[in-house]
Amino acid sequence: MRIDRIEIRHTKMELVTSFETSMGIETQEEHIMVRVDGDGVTGWGECVVEELPLYSSETVQTAWSVLRDCLIPAVLGKTISKVEEAIALWTKFRGHRMAKAGLESALWDALAKAKGVSLAKMLGGTRDRVDVGVSVGLQASPEALVRKVGAHLDEGYRRIKIKIAPGRDVELVKALRKEYPKVLLQVDANSAYELSDIDVFRAMDDAGLLLIEQPLSYEDIYDHSKLQRELKTAICLDESIHSLADARAALELNSCRVINIKPGRVGGFTESAAIHDYCASKKIPVWHGGMLESGIGRAGNVALASLPNFTLPGDISASRRYYREDIVEPEFVLNPDSTLTVPTGPGIGVTVLMDRLDRVTVRREEFRHR
């Protein structure tokens, strides 16, 4: 496929409910949608950068400049038959994994569509439905959290993840366990603690949590190994894992027993699949994280999560949990068994609604090969 045209769009979408974590409160989500055209097909990808460098050091502005000045010029006008050929054209550029993943995902979609196969199939997916849960932000009080979780359980979500932050942690777990002793429950600290806070985690170590996600610093691997040694509950790393090499370091040091895979954080589906395969070979379960994606990114996430070692439910909820109206159709709807159905159409298998995308686009730039 010859890459003739690439377009990037800075989008702003209002969340149905604000999302509070140890990093701050979000009320709207800014991302970059990437469109690639060539050989009569159009591929779409979502770059999950946010407005400010709170979760990741990348932002909409850094990704925009790296896409415009480095990644797009590297591939525009080139003919590629595999995503790896595109990756080879940009590996000399260091870091900026979310920017790379945004473009890579659009290329995956375009190449899968050119072949007439689903992205799930092309990535090696083996399931037609993926288990999902819901990630619940910090609420005003433990009572409010219990109510919110109850509402999600009523919607059919069978796995709950709650955000924790210093001073808003053990009491939340206790309140939930009192009301819902058996529910699949996990916590996510988003790097808000230090090793000296170990008593917080000891205090929730008998709560039957599935895992404790990213308790310590966002690039740490070593201190997590010290913490894991002291806990029965599995630690799961999110922020600290940027690559297969990080995953290897984390498993060799026993820093975690579970890994959260987000394609944006690790530079794309190719690296995600490599981490998935490595973890499978070590009998370490993985699950798919989320970055409050629109339907474009969500479709790719569902496809990736259909690989066999994604054995824990993902942070891939229905479209309605995030946005009043999604920018794709069909939107993602929760099945009664707490799964989302993996699209079977070519590529990401959903149609981008251009009028809706136009309405949420605040900046657009297009690049043509001539």
In whole angstroms, give the CA distance from residue 238 to residue 49.
15
Which of ligand OSB, Mg ion, none lies near 291, with the C-beta cut-off 5 to 8 A by kind? ligand OSB
Looking at 66-74, 81-89, 117-125, 288-296, which segment touches ligand OSB (CB under 6 A)?
288-296
DSSP letters for 20-42: EETTEEEEEEEEEEEEEEETTEE
The continuous run of DSSP H or E covering 90 comes out as helix 83-90
Q: 19 CB contacts (<8 Å, ≥6 apart)?
A: 25, 26, 27, 137, 292
In the residue annotation, 92 being an active-site residue is answered as no
Report the residue number, 61 or 126, with the smaller CB distance to ligand OSB. Answer: 61
What is the per-residue binding string for ligand OSB in 131-170, x denoting contact by CB under 6 A?
Answer: ----x-----------------------------------
CB of 314 to Mg ion, least distance (A): 12
At residue 288's C-alpha, the angle toward residues 286 and 294, to 5°, is 175
Q: Exposure string (b/e) for 75-101, b if CB count within 10 Å is 16 or more?
A: bbeeebeebeebbeebeeeeebbbbbb
Exposed/middle/buried for residue 317 (C-beta within 10 Å: 0-12, 13-18, 19+): buried
Mapped onto helix, strand or coil, the DSSP state of residue 348 is coil
246 lines the binding site for ligand OSB (CB under 6 A): no
Report the residue number, 50 or 188, with the smaller CB distance to Mg ion. Answer: 188
CB of 57 to Mg ion, least distance (A): 16
Backbone angle region of 82, left / alpha / beta, with phi > 0 → left and psi within -120 to 50 → alpha: beta
Residue selected from 138, 200, 210, 292 as contacting ligand OSB according to rule CB under 6 A:
292
Looking at 6-14, 216-224, 242-250, 284-292, which segment touches ligand OSB (CB under 6 A)?
284-292
Among the listed residues 161, 262, 282, 283, the single catalytic one is 262
Report the residue number, 90 or 193, with the smaller CB distance to ligand OSB. Answer: 193
Q: Phi first, then psi: give them for residue 365, nearest 5 degrees.
A: -140, 140
106 lines the binding site for ligand OSB (CB under 6 A): no
In whole angstroms, give the CA distance from residue 363 to residue 185.
39
289 lines the binding site for ligand OSB (CB under 6 A): yes
Q: Phi first, then psi: give them for residue 363, nearest 5 degrees.
A: -155, 145
Q: Which of 70, 2, 81 is nearest to 36 (CA)?
A: 2
Looking at 65-73, 215-223, 266-274, 287-295, which segment touches ligand OSB (CB under 6 A)?
287-295
Residue the block writes with tokens 């920018």: 327
64 lines the binding site for ligand OSB (CB under 6 A): no
In the residue annotation, 262 being an active-site residue is answered as yes
255 lines the binding site for ligand OSB (CB under 6 A): no
In whole angstroms, give the CA distance from residue 15 to residue 349.
24
Encoded amino acid at 364, one letter: R
Among the listed residues 82, 148, 163, 178, the single catalytic one is 163
305 lines the binding site for ligand OSB (CB under 6 A): no
315 lines the binding site for ligand OSB (CB under 6 A): yes
Give residues in contact with Mg ion (CB under 5 A).
188, 213, 238
Residue selected from 45, 290, 313, 347 as contacting ligand OSB according to rule CB under 6 A:
290
186 lines the binding site for ligand OSB (CB under 6 A): no
306 lines the binding site for ligand OSB (CB under 6 A): no
Residue selected from 86, 291, 299, 342 as contacting ligand OSB according to rule CB under 6 A:
291
346 lines the binding site for ligand OSB (CB under 6 A): no
Which of Mg ion, ligand OSB, none lies near 270, with the C-beta cut-off 5 to 8 A by kind? none
Which of ligand OSB, Mg ion, none lies near 37, with the C-beta cut-off 5 to 8 A by kind? none
Q: 186 CB contacts (<8 Å, ≥6 apart)?
A: 159, 160, 161, 162, 209, 210, 211, 212, 213, 236
Q: Phi first, then psi: give them for residue 125, nearest 5 degrees.
A: -65, 150
Active site residues per annotation: 163, 262
Q: Give me the residues that bind ligand OSB (CB under 6 A), please.
A: 55, 135, 188, 190, 238, 289-292, 315, 317
